[in-house]
Amino acid sequence: MSGHDSKYFSTTKKGEIPELKEELNSQYKDKRKDAVKKVIAAMTVGKDVSSLFTDVVNCMQTENLELKKLVYLYLINYAKSQPDLAILAVNTFVKDSQDPNPLIRSLAVRTMGCIRVDKITEYLCDPLQRCLKDDDPYVRKTAAICVAKLYDINAELVEDRGFLEALKDLISDNNPMVVANAVAALAEIQETSSRPIFEITSHTLSKLLTALNECTEWGQVFILDALSKYKAADAREAENIVERVTPRLQHANCAVVLSAVKMILQQMELITSPDVVRNLCKKMAPPLVTLLSAEPEIQYVALRNINLIVQRRPTILAHEIKVFFCKYNDPIYVKMEKLEIMIKLASDRNIDQVLLEFKEYATEVDVDFVRKAVRAIGRCAIKLERAAERCISVLLELIKIKVNYVVQEAIIVIKDIFRRYPNTLSIHSPLSYESIIATLCESLDTLDEPEAKASMIWIIGEYAERIDNADELLESFLESFPEEPAQVQLQLLTATVKLFLKKPTEGPQQMIQVVLNNATVETDNPDLRDRAYIYWRLLSTDPEAAKDVVLAEKPVISDDSNQLEQSLLDDLLANIATLSSVYHKPPEAFVTRVKTAQRTEEDDYPDGSETGYSESPSHAVDSIASPPATSSNTPQAVGRQPAAAPVPDLLGDLMGLDSDNNSNNAIVPVDEPTIPAGPTLPVVLPASTGQGLQISAQLVRRDGQIFYSLLFENNSQIPLDGFMIQFNKNTFGLAAAGPLQVPQLLPGTSARNLLPMVLFQNVASGPPNTLLQVAVKNNQQPVWYFSDKVSLLVFFTEDGRMERATFLETWKSLPDSNEVSKDFPGIVMNSVEATLDRLAASNMFFIAKRKHADQEVLYLSAKIPRGFPFLIELTAVIGVPGLKCAIKTPSPEMAPLFFESIETLLKS
Amino acid sequence: MAGAASALFLLDIKGRVLVWRDYRGDVSSVQAERFFTKLIEKEGDAGSQDPVGYDDGVTYMFVQHNNVYLMTASRQNCNAASLLLFLHRVVDVFKHYFEELEEESLRDNFVVVYELLDEMMDFGYPQYTEAKILSEFIKTNAYRMEVAQRPPMAVTNAVSWRSEGIQYKKNEVFLDVVESVNILVNSNGQIIRSDVVGALKMRTYLSGMPECKLGLNDRVLLEAQGRSTKGKAIDLDDIKFHQCVRLARFENDRTISFIPPDGSFDLMTYRLSTQVKPLIWVEAQIERHSRSRMEIVVKARSQYKERSTATNVEIELPVPADATNPNIRTSMGSASYAPENDALLWKIKSFPGGKEYMLRAELTLPSIVAEEAAPERKAPIRVKFEIPYFTVSGIQVRYLKIIEKSGYQALPWVRYITMAGEYELRLV
């Protein structure tokens, strides 16, 4: 049955469009049809054939169904770009909607609904009205969906013309397919409307349950999804509903099964009889297990859902853990999800078998999977007290294999286990803390990941009194102290203090001097410095108090990292089988479809031309060119003075150790869609440092407001969320004007953000510098620190223009000591105009110009907030390298910063 | 909860759009192409990526078939299970139409592809995916379209999988009971998972609208009917039926009644998780002599009754990637080295029950590896086989009644076969 349509893709030497035009107007039917096919082929490969609109539409009146379909397809694609010509098609559409052939009638309404041109929509109403009452169910089912299409384009029209009532009538249609489509259409309309449009009464419920038995598999999904919103009046009604839905669990279509599961789970909430509930759980288990024999993509969706289901009803699959054991050929994304569920189902009864599996996985080749398997062992240890020792033995066996990343992961995990059981591992066991630590120490030299290093150091500090050579071990790290990442430095500092407090001998005393010196004088990291000072002060004033603080008993941790909050879980369970249940996020977090009214501006479909990418509709208005101050993403910036960002205690919060109580901080992560694509930003935190998280950032000025433009790219294997940002004290007192709003970043995705900034919030004393130290944290990773360079340019305000007279006056009034100049031998000024344009773009305003020999001398003014003016004199010979820049300003200490910025600006 | 796809894309192996159908006008092909090419660039292979991805407000879901990716884009909270399954069904429909779905066949048939995409999905909602019925009114042979077509009744009927007026001279039904044995044995020789997935595959050549009733030796049913179930009855864990089976009726009285589609389909599938004795047991002993030579001794034992015989047995034994110069001897069948799979392939045409065969192989390992090299890929031993006239579960078709109003006699043919599914034994 193979076709030979590929011949239509070939091009001819002669101009293609004129040739096609000629063929489209041929007197021969076959030739016209071939020509339309060529047009569609061109459209398929992305060529713009919209100029043939009239010629193609002329072929519309045909008896040939295939040709008609092609012309319709063309119309769907190009009507939008040719709205005035599209009207030519209306007559044929209306005529076709009354054709004796039901295929053509439905084709006409279906296509008209797809053409989002107002002029066409107006004419759609009458045919749609007729088709909703058509004799043929095929036409009615198409018309039902068409109402939803029309509602999407023009909701008012749908309501005014009474289509909603007609659609509701279709719920009682005698044809199950029509009922199903009407349900789908109504459910969608309800979603976008705030008024109650589609309310399921017990009467509609029973009708729909009957239709369920007869409609196609896809229709069953529509109906089940809509019905899962129905709230039964009491337990009896709930039981009745469940009884009628359970047969769907036997359906071969996985989507039907999952939607049936959703509905049963919803109704089960109302059922009080424990017997009934137990029985239902028993009934649901086998179908859920069978989903794991489906195609891997479906398995993935099923596993994400099972993850939710076992959190609510752990008993359902309590005995089925074996089906989640990974198969050799499972795709990695299936394996990862299976592992997650295995942890959830692990119990004292099955832990031995589970550990054997984890051990097996920990020797596979996929590094991420291996790491996750090792972590899984740790999570089981934390969850099951009685199995903790067995878990540790497995981890120790894995360490002996000496695969570097396994060792490091195992050490991190053992640190967590120690935090969970600080002293309570059984004394009868051959495993003592000493022997475990001894095994860990064998791998000391191979550690190169910050988290593993930090964990090892934590263990040494915490158990210093039990380790004979703790001081030697720590000392070995001290040599490289300045080069270590912040995370490791902080742990080293604390561990050394712990060691000193536990063993106040000479060795540790010397070490503590070295560390404190390193951590206060030598470092730029404020967290480290502050913590070191606190320790120092404590140790020098009251060593006993230091003990109470540093060696205080720590709260015992528990593994709730993957437990969802009850209300969120409720929400997600109501959304089983949907994307929400796959993401484990409420729909609001990712649904970007907004009401049509806001979409009229949007004009995408570049169709081969380079008009650029269409932005998501909700952001169509705030693409980069338009003022971001009006953007919905930065509401803080609009209309009111930027509020001061609260400055939380740098010591406590950023370390993240006890960050659980930061709810009273204003830094609350809010999930919100992010800013669309923009210019490239310099990388400030490379993915290699950030465990896969890459951050690019730059300060920018837009419409009088300073923003920190950030790009987060998640190259790790885990979703990252709960992003927060904090700025260290800096010369300009730059701080965030509001919380950082970055949505959860799934692996492989990225998010942009324009963070509004305020000035003079936490001003650092000392000579001005351009250093901006930033800390970013999220819920999954350690805190990342990076430094950025502030360009003075972003501070130049829009009102920096001076009158000539004022300029001269100011120049004269400032003493000569305030004049600083610098030569830039590398900069060439090629044109005065271009240079001035460039300077003006950065709010440096041209005052005057004079010629001195062959030199051009330019005078400009600029202003930074709080009114400091900069008077600038630039001297250069056009086209010859070498530029002299002199400035006069009340704050000459800013001069180096100014020169740095202007150099970057003029060099680029 | 309501939600639907915005567009459906067919992409080539590099992630470029071949054909796409825009259903809602809120996702552009440029956008989708950008997402997908980025995805491929990152990993090289989209098959290892989560099949659900999010970028710039749009959720993409995709499946791969040959050198083509099928992908939906959506801005709503749509039903992920339904859309992904729909993509698989689209693959089935295209395969029915073009024999094979690949880049070339899409190009060769783009007109039909557009027509099908228009019929199978409307406004992003899956509508109709019965290939057989679709081909009654969407044809590849252009000239046949000259006859004004009507949608077949089946499209909107309660019986949406069968058209009326089918005629056969000889009315026949073929029923194959196929059981796949999945087993996972760990390196200690412990069976950690074993289950049987069975399928009743039917091929029907029946006239008119036949009413069928199938009787199995299902314990629940037989007990309900008060018959003795000694020894013969079986418990099926989870049964899934083709949409033609009346589920409510089955729920009521365990009767399997249906009007079948024309041609071949899976009437039902079932799963049995009772522990079964592995039908073919394989043990491998690997000895590494020095660093450069290894010896493998493999025993394969059949653990079913002597009157059954397994055919086309294939045992895949993983060997290190650098193995060379294999010297293999077998007591039965033939063995060869398949370097592309890093494995020895031992084929035994016929393997009667209660027998044991051996394989010995010597390999040289020329490469020198570091002391602490990362572990090698640890592939399990995999076994394939078929055992005709035998089922693990003991399932029996007791009757298949076919009643059509014209009153013809139809002949049902039943066949049983057991084969290896995912049959894996992990090496030490």
**A800 and A786 in one domain?**
no
pLDDT band of A751, cuts 50, 70, 90: confident
> Is residue A620 predicted with pLDDT exceeding 80?
no
Q: What is the pLDDT of residues B366-415, one digit of tens each?
A: 877 665 555 666 789 999 999 999 999 889 998 999 999 999 999 899 99
Q: What local confidence, expressed as pLDDT, does residue B2 receive?
A: 65
- Range picked from A258-267, A604-613, A711-720 for highest mean pLDDT: A258-267
Q: What is the pLDDT of residues A8-47, one digit of tens each?
A: 776 555 567 888 888 888 888 888 888 999 999 988 888 8
Average pLDDT, whole number, for chain B?
88
Using a 10 angstrom Cβ sphere, with 0-12 exposed, 13-18 middle and 19 or more buried, the burial of residue B291 is exposed
Smallest Cα distance from A164 to chain B, Å: 17
When CB atoms are compared, the residue of B23, B242, B250 closest to A247 is B250
Cβ proximity of A89 and A50 under 8 Å? no
Average pLDDT, whole number, for chain A?
83
Residues listed for chain B: 428
> Is residue A616 predicted with pLDDT exceeding 60?
no
The interface pTM score, or ipTM, of the predicted complex is 0.88
Sorted by sequence, the CB contacts under 8 Å of residue A139 that are 6+ apart come out as A102, A105, A106, A109, A131
Q: What angle do CA A421, A425, A430 make, to 5 degrees?
A: 150
Interface residue of B30, B72, B89, B236 to substitute, partner A, most A CBs within 10 Å: B30
Q: Do domains B172-276+392-425 and B280-369+376-388 have the same CATH topology?
A: yes
Residue A893 lies in a domain: yes
Q: What is the pLDDT of residues A271-299, one digit of tens each?
A: 999 999 999 999 999 999 999 999 999 99
**A168 and A94 in one domain?**
yes
- CA of B141: which chain A residue's CA is closest? A1
pLDDT band of B59, cuts 50, 70, 90: very high
Q: What local confidence, expressed as pLDDT, does residue A641 receive?
A: 38
> Is residue A612 predicted with pLDDT exceeding 50?
no
CA dihedral (A402, A404, A408, A410) positive or negative:
negative
* Of B248, B266, B273, B215, the residue nearest A249 (C-alpha): B248
pTM, two decimal places: 0.74
Residue A583 lies in a domain: no
Q: What local confidence, expressed as pLDDT, does residue A425 receive?
A: 65
Smallest Cα distance from B22 to chain A, Å: 8
Q: What local confidence, expressed as pLDDT, does residue A838 receive?
A: 84
- Which chain B residues contact residue A290 at CB under 8 A? 238, 240, 269, 271
- Which chain B residues contact residue A715 at CB under 8 A? 42
Q: In this structure, what token pair is assigned to residue A252?
A: 């071969």
Smallest Cα distance from B263 to chain A, Å: 18
**A155 and A66 in one domain?**
yes
Strand partners, B316: B345, B382
When CB atoms are compared, the residue of A214, A221, A287 closest to B158 is A214
- Which chain B residues contact residue A70 at CB under 8 A? 111, 114
Print the domain residue range for A69: 5-230
pLDDT band of B229, cuts 50, 70, 90: low
- Which chain A residues contact residue B255 at CB under 8 A? none
In angstroms, rounded to a whole number, what is the distance separating the alpha carbons of residues A357 and A362?
A: 9
In angstroms, rounded to a whole number, what is the distance separating the alpha carbons of residues A143 and A68?
A: 19
pLDDT band of A847, cuts 50, 70, 90: confident
Interface residue of B12, B56, B97 to substitute, partner A, most A CBs within 10 Å: B56
B48 to A178: CB separation less than 8 angstroms, yes or no: no
When CB atoms are compared, the residue of B24, B156, B374 closest to A175 is B156
**A710 and A694 in one domain?**
yes
- Which chain A residues contact residue B95 at CB under 8 A? none
Q: What is the pLDDT of residues A756-800, one digit of tens each?
A: 888 887 777 777 888 888 888 888 888 888 888 888 888 888 888
Residue A217 lies in a domain: yes
Q: What is the pLDDT of residues A214-256, one digit of tens each?
A: 889 999 999 999 999 898 989 999 999 999 999 999 999 999 9
Residue A748 lies in a domain: yes
When CB atoms are compared, the residue of A294, A328, A676 closest to B56 is A676
Cβ proximity of A363 and A328 under 8 Å? no
Residue A564 lies in a domain: no
- CA of B270: which chain A residue's CA is closest? A290
* Mean pLDDT, rounded, for B113-142: 88
B422 to A327: CB separation less than 8 angstroms, yes or no: yes
> Is residue A683 predicted with pLDDT exceeding 60?
yes
- Which chain B residues contact residue A6 at CB under 8 A? 104, 107-108
How many separate domains does chain A show?
Answer: 4
Q: Tell me which amino acid residue B114 is.
A: Y
Q: What local confidence, expressed as pLDDT, does residue A670 receive?
A: 38
Sorted by sequence, the CB contacts under 8 Å of residue A231 that are 6+ apart come out as none
Q: What is the pLDDT of residues A433-480, one digit of tens each?
A: 888 888 888 888 888 899 999 999 999 999 988 888 888 889 888 888
> Is residue B314 predicted with pLDDT exceeding 80?
yes
> Is residue B360 predicted with pLDDT exceeding 70?
yes
Of A230, A246, A266, the one marking the end of a domain is: A230
Interface residue of A151, A332, A579 to substitute, partner B, most B CBs within 10 Å: A579
Residue A328 lies in a domain: no
> Is residue A608 predicted with pLDDT exceeding 70?
no
**A494 and A551 in one domain?**
yes
Give domain B280-369+376-388's CATH architecture: Sandwich (2.60)
> Is residue A86 predicted with pLDDT exceeding 90?
no
B271 to A599: CB separation less than 8 angstroms, yes or no: no
Q: What local confidence, expressed as pLDDT, does residue B372 receive?
A: 55
Using a 10 angstrom Cβ sphere, with 0-12 exposed, 13-18 middle and 19 or more buried, the burial of residue B407 is exposed
> CATH number, domain at A875?
3.30.310.10
Q: What local confidence, expressed as pLDDT, does residue B141 receive?
A: 59
pLDDT band of A663, cuts 50, 70, 90: very low
Q: What local confidence, expressed as pLDDT, does residue A350 receive?
A: 94
> CATH number, domain at A690?
2.60.40.1150
Domain B172-276+392-425 has CATH 2.60.40.1170: yes
Q: What local confidence, expressed as pLDDT, does residue A795 receive?
A: 84
In angstroms, rounded to a whole number, what is the distance separating the alpha carbons of residues A87 and A666?
A: 55
When CB atoms are compared, the residue of A250, A599, A616 closest to B247 is A250
B104 to A247: CB separation less than 8 angstroms, yes or no: no
pLDDT band of B119, cuts 50, 70, 90: very high
* Mean pLDDT, rounded, for A849-858: 83
When CB atoms are compared, the residue of B28, B146, B243 closest to A252 is B243
**A217 and A169 in one domain?**
yes
Cβ proximity of A164 and A129 under 8 Å? no
Q: What local confidence, expressed as pLDDT, does residue B292 receive?
A: 82
* Mean pLDDT, rounded, for A100-114: 92
**A817 and A848 in one domain?**
yes
- Which chain A residues contact residue B145 at CB under 8 A? 64-66
Q: What local confidence, expressed as pLDDT, does residue B144 receive?
A: 45
Q: What local confidence, expressed as pLDDT, does residue A562 receive?
A: 66
Cβ proximity of B52 and A298 under 8 Å? no
- Which chain B residues contact residue A581 at CB under 8 A? 80
In angstroms, rounded to a whole number, what is the distance separating the alpha carbons of residues A171 and A179?
A: 5
Q: What local confidence, expressed as pLDDT, does residue A12 receive?
A: 52
Domain B7-155 has CATH 2.40.37.10: no
> Is residue A618 predicted with pLDDT exceeding 80?
no
Neighbours of A9 (CB within 10 A): 15
Of A187, A211, A230, the one marking the end of a domain is: A230
A184 to B125: CB separation less than 8 angstroms, yes or no: yes
Smallest Cα distance from A496 to chain B, Å: 32
The distance between the two most distant Cα atoms of chain A, rounded to a whole number of Å, is 105
In angstroms, rounded to a whole number, what is the distance separating the alpha carbons of residues A89 and A77?
A: 13
When CB atoms are compared, the residue of B59, B81, B148 closest to A255 is B81
Q: What local confidence, expressed as pLDDT, does residue A645 receive?
A: 39
- Range picked from A300-309, A627-636, B247-256 for highest mean pLDDT: A300-309
Is beta strand B381-388 parallel, antiparallel or unpaired with respect to B309-318? antiparallel
When CB atoms are compared, the residue of B127, B149, B186 closest to A65 is B149
**A823 and A694 in one domain?**
no
Q: What is the pLDDT of residues A365-402, one digit of tens each?
A: 888 999 999 999 999 999 998 899 999 999 999 998 88
When CB atoms are compared, the residue of A178, A187, A356 closest to B1 is A187
- Which chain B residues contact residue A305 at CB under 8 A? 81
**A169 and A91 in one domain?**
yes
A188 to B26: CB separation less than 8 angstroms, yes or no: no
Residue A171 lies in a domain: yes
- Which chain A residues contact residue B142 at CB under 8 A? 66
Of A520, A541, A556, the one marking the end of a domain is: A556
The domain spans of chain B are: 7-155, 172-276+392-425, 280-369+376-388
Interface residue of A74, A81, A173, A298 to substitute, partner B, most B CBs within 10 Å: A298
Residue A642 lies in a domain: yes
